[in-house]
Amino acid sequence: MIDKGELLAGMLDKGVVGNANGGVIHYIWLDYGADEAAKFLSNAQMLVNNWLCNFGFSVGVSDIFPTK
């Protein structure tokens, strides 16, 4: 449940945020238009990027080769 931009209950997953009918992006597009839907997607990507900087990990070249 989202009220005035605040997640009050539930979990955001692919089914809710995805581009399917009934998803958040679909409702933003219908209620506020394409520009606001694009802003939401840009902001969501920045959120993911910031999360990855704090909690993500990297893989080095030596990690991709199998060991004997």
Q: What is the pLDDT of residue 24?
A: 87
Encode 19-35: b = buried (16+ Cβ within 10 Å), e = exposed.
Answer: eeeeebbeebbeeeeee
Report the pLDDT value the prediction gives residue 50, as an integer from 0 to 100: 92
Mean pLDDT of successive 10-residue segments in the chain (68 residues)? 82 76 86 93 91 86 81
